[in-house]
Amino acid sequence: MASWAVACANNLSSKPIPARERLIFALDVPGMDEGKRWVERLGASVEFYKLGLQFLMSGQYFDMVEWLGAQGKKVFADIKFFDVPETVRLAVEQLQRRRVAFATVHGNDSMLEAAVSAKGGLKILAVTVLTSLDRGDLDDLGFQCDPEELVLSRARRAIKLGCDGVISSGLEAARLRGELGGSFLIVSPGIRPVENRPADDQKRTVDVEDAFLRGADYIVVGRPIRQAADPRAKAEEIQAKIAGLFGS
């Protein structure tokens, strides 16, 4: 193990999460038929699925949620609630009755508070800074600060308000752990292989081992699996890396 990895090893999650659930596959497809084909194609290589806005617009979102639950799979509803606090509260109140484990909220303190107040057994994850944004993008949006500082500020507030965790690039995970502790969840999207990070809309990326060594509890992977010649083999390759860190 490299010296950098040794230095970060104390950030490795010790939460009692089954190792194979630490990989979340981004089921970014246009509808249920294709979604089912992907789940069947991936089989036991993936136990946790993220359903985002594209699937929401299909009109089959909750049919897919129920179907995944019937297959014994876990669901992450990545809807990024952002609205009047009472509207967020009512939406989360509805969602927590479904077979959903995680949901995202992307808003200010009052929106996060509203979501937390209605979450029941649902875990609320606050979006910090989208992994598609870099310093130049933040400047354009009027945030005159480094992405890491903004992530830390938003995460600190979210945890204080009772959120169960945050969505954060693996790049910021180590500092979040160092300054905010290990009790909350970090879910890291933007996972790309070191040897072949394609030019796409994800700018702040890390690879599988880096994300976990820096402190992530879960990683979200989409295109590296979907675009692989053998998606199931790619998912199992990632699962083998996770098993190497956490055991089976």
Q: What does the DSSP assignment read for 170-205?
A: HHHHHHHHHHH-SSSEEEE--B--TT---SSS--S-
Phi, psi of 217 (to 5 degrees): -95, -35
Of the candidates 15, 36, 80, 160, the residue annotated as catalytic is 80
> Residues 197, 205: contact at Cβ < 8 Å?
yes
Active site residue 80: yes
> Residues 49, 74: contact at Cβ < 8 Å?
yes
**Beta-carbon contacts of residue 11 (< 8 Å; ≥ 6 apart):** 173, 174, 177, 178, 182, 213, 214, 215
Query: In the structure encoding, which two tokens stand for residue 117, read together?
Result: 């107040």
Type of residue found at 234: K
> Residues 134, 204: contact at Cβ < 8 Å?
yes
Residues classed as catalytic: 80
